[in-house]
Amino acid sequence: MTVYVRALETAVPPTLLIQHEARDVFASQPGLTRLGSRLVSTCFDSAAIDTRYTAVRELTLDSAAEDPQFFDPQTRVLRSPSTKARNNLFAEEATKLFIEAADAAVSKCDGIDPPDITHLITVSCTGFFNPGPDYKIVRALGLNPAVQRYHLGFMGCYAAFPALRAAKSFCEADPAAVVLVVCAELCSLHVRTSNDPDTIMGSALFADGAAAAVVTAREDLESRPLLQLDHFETVLTPVGEDSMAWNIGDEGFEMVLGNYVPHIIDSHIVGALEPLLARDPSLRELAYRDITHWAIHPGGRSILDKVQSRLDLTDEQLHPARETLRNYGNMSSATVLFVLKHILDLPSREGDERICSMAFGPGLTVETGLFTKVRQPADGLHAASAEAEPSLA
């Protein structure tokens, strides 16, 4: 049985952060040491990010908030709201993104109406509330109240893969299943000023966004499949348990992102890919750069640099990941779905287009997925027309 993604849509909050403006604010905070200020400038400038989006409307220089909790534009001082205050904003703003992304995906899937959804999987690691985002989506979109609901919480940047893997399993168990997967993360809720290098790195990288996918094995639909879900694998590296973590503090969630993480990935990425590529005999003898697309979670520029160097990938193969990082930053679990959408939006090529995808998270966990991009009729027609058109040379 073949399981497909038939719609994949993304959403971001309306407030845009310009990286160099955010750098100047973070670098000028009271309490920073001279070294801390230099670290801010270095981390922000080397992140390979131009813009990010945030659900915290106060995080702009022209904010008109009367009683700001996160940022005072008059004094340009970042404040330290409690975890409760941050989580309250998560409940309000994440709900909007969950619903927007879910509605966009279902609306793009011709032949599927909201009551046809049989399973709903929501994903987030940046906040908690109950009744949660799964409940909110059911009510807002008019899903069947009996829809099976699952929430994957606090897994980190790799969580889109367990969600897609679960969706594939549901569809293989029930050929009539239609699964809606929605990831939404509000990482910017937890930024703070600090001299700690991990905290500074998080402030330079993380952003907010959401993505949703409709997954099914049904063949009786009007919408064309976009992406075939082939295989998934999970690998825990033998080192790195203390190098990447996500903890709950009194003033928001606290990230641990050690500067040794890129080196761990560099040392263990080949071994992490072996179980995945061994699932498909047609790929075992290929060089990594012979696989058409690589949807790498852009955890940071240095991580992408290590992946590209170790696997000998071309700039073109890393372009979707680098462009996602440049335009959106690191949106935790939603980010790799942004990268996949970028690849799906590219013109189709001749033959099968295999996609090897991976994301990294606490543990250190490496989640990998193997997909096939499905050629769309318009792409095939365009290619045929181009071949039939006589050359003017």
Q: Walk me through the domains of the chain, giving residue ranges and CATH numbers.
A: 3-216 (3.40.47.10), 227-373 (3.40.47.10)
As a whole number of angstroms, the distance between CA 76 and CA 132 comes to: 34
- Stretches in the chain below the pLDDT threshold 50: 380-393
- Identify the active-site residue in 43, 109, 125, 157: 157
130 burial type by CB count under 10 A (0-12 exposed, 13-18 middle, 19+ buried): exposed
What's the confidence (pLDDT) of residue 385? 37
Q: How far is CA 81 from CA 87, 192, 197, 215, in A?
A: 10, 9, 21, 38
As a whole number of angstroms, the distance between CA 328 and CA 51 comes to: 6
Structure tokens at 298: 């852009």
Give the single-character DSSP code of 140: H
Could you tell me which of 213, 196, 249, 227 has the C-alpha nearest to residue 83?
249
What's the confidence (pLDDT) of residue 50? 98
What's the confidence (pLDDT) of residue 357? 98
Mutual angle of helices 19-27 and 197-205, in 10-degree steps: 150
Could you tell me which of 172, 169, 160, 166 has the C-alpha nearest to residue 8?
160
What's the confidence (pLDDT) of residue 283? 85
**Sheet of 208-216, strands arranged across:** 148-153, 119-124, 178-186, 208-216, 3-11, 227-236, 365-373, 353-361, 293-296
157 in active site:
yes
What's the confidence (pLDDT) of residue 65? 76
As a whole number of angstroms, the distance between CA 95 and CA 25 comes to: 28
- Quickly count helices (H) and strands (E) in the chain: 11, 15
CB 302 within 8 A of CB 47: no
As a whole number of angstroms, the distance between CA 371 and CA 229 comes to: 5
